[in-house]
Amino acid sequence: MAGGKRDWVYKLSRLDRRIIFFLIGLSVVVPLLIGLVLPVFTSPIVQNMFDRIESLPPGSRVLLSCDYGPSTAPENQPMAESITRHALARDCRLYIVSLWATGAGQIELLQDQVLRTEFEGKEEGVDWVNLGYKAGNQGLINAILLDLKAMYSTDVRGTSTGSIPMMEGVANLTDMDLIVGIGSGFPGVKEWIQFAGDRGDIPITGGVTAVEAPLLYPYYPKQLLGLMGGLQGAAEYETALIKAYPRFRQTAVNAVRLMGPQAVAHTLIALLVILGNVMFFMERRREGKRS
């Protein structure tokens, strides 16, 4: 290079990684600060899930399993919140459990942020119940497929399930009209499909993190009636929920609000990857001309 000076191609191809990290940070922070909200359209696989819950008559039993923890809550928690809102808006009875120990805390957040604030007219034990976490993974699913109350003798408050009104007539999982698994790994939606849906002929839907979603698509639409995949899937469900129930327009938007920053960050990452490849081939070409 003339005068020993490195030209712009060389410098750009060796851009300090701290600058890249700074740009990625800006791509997330700036859209959050300005409140960037991008339009979200509901895909068929999410719409089918929404339609299934929408078709349930009042009084139907829906089991919601929160099988995740704080590390994936940005993706999973909006899913659980949307299912909770939708089920109670349809006057369904909601039974909440978890196969993960960390799921217990997420259920508490769900109670505090949705159940007790947005549905004051709904009564615990009558319209919804928190049965909490139980160890056992798929073994637990096998057990409650035969006898639910043997494993859940009380709710998380210590109240006997025999005295909880909405537990009357519930003997096992086959008494559920729908199971919704929200998960981020093992055990999760796949185990609910294999050990409850297939064996008990119980309709299954769910929501998982973006990295796990491709592993579950083969189960759709026969064994899995619908699926929310990652933050995108959560935002799509929120969009369908708001369209059908405008009263949730101010509350059911957590995933929709995060889609703007995610889209900007992903676009920047894609552009940086393309730029890196262009710089690589340009350098290779120059080296070939000099040799």
DSSP characters for 137-195?
Answer: THHHHHHHHH-HHHH-SB-TT--BGGG-GGGTT--SGGG-SEEEEEESSSSSHHHHIII
Higher local confidence (pLDDT), 144 or 257? 144
Q: Give the distance, in angstroms, between the CA of residue 70 and the centroid of all CA atoms in the same chain.
A: 12
Determine the pLDDT at residue 3. Answer: 42
Determine the pLDDT at residue 254. Answer: 87
Determine the pLDDT at residue 84. Answer: 98
Are 208 and 95 in contact by the 8 Å Cβ rule? The answer is: no
Q: Which two tokens stand for residue 207?
A: 């929501």
> In the chain, what are the domains?
2-35+259-290 (no CATH), 44-252 (3.40.50)
Determine the pLDDT at residue 291. Answer: 63
Lowest mean pLDDT across 1-10, 70-79, 137-146: 1-10
Q: Tens digits of per-residue pLDDT, 61-74? A: 999 999 999 999 99
Lowest mean pLDDT across 31-35, 41-45, 171-175, 220-224: 31-35
Amino acid at 103: G
Amino acid at 277: N
Determine the pLDDT at residue 189. Answer: 97
Higher local confidence (pLDDT), 256 or 68? 68
Secondary structure of residue 227 in the 3-state scheme: strand
DSSP characters for 247-269?
Answer: GGTTTS-HHHHHHHHHHHHHHHH
Lowest mean pLDDT across 16-20, 47-51, 206-210: 16-20
pTM of the predicted model as reported, rounded to 2 decimal places? 0.88
Distance CA 150, CA 161 (A): 10
> Does 5 have pLDDT greater than 50?
no
Determine the pLDDT at residue 261. Answer: 87
Q: Tens digits of per-residue pLDDT, 185-229? A: 999 999 999 999 999 999 999 999 999 999 999 999 999 999 999
Q: Where are the alpha helices (DSSP H) in the chain?
A: 8-13, 17-34, 44-54, 73-89, 103-110, 116-118, 138-146, 148-151, 189-192, 198-200, 213-216, 230-244, 254-290
Distance CA 158, CA 142 (A): 23
Determine the pLDDT at residue 4. Answer: 42
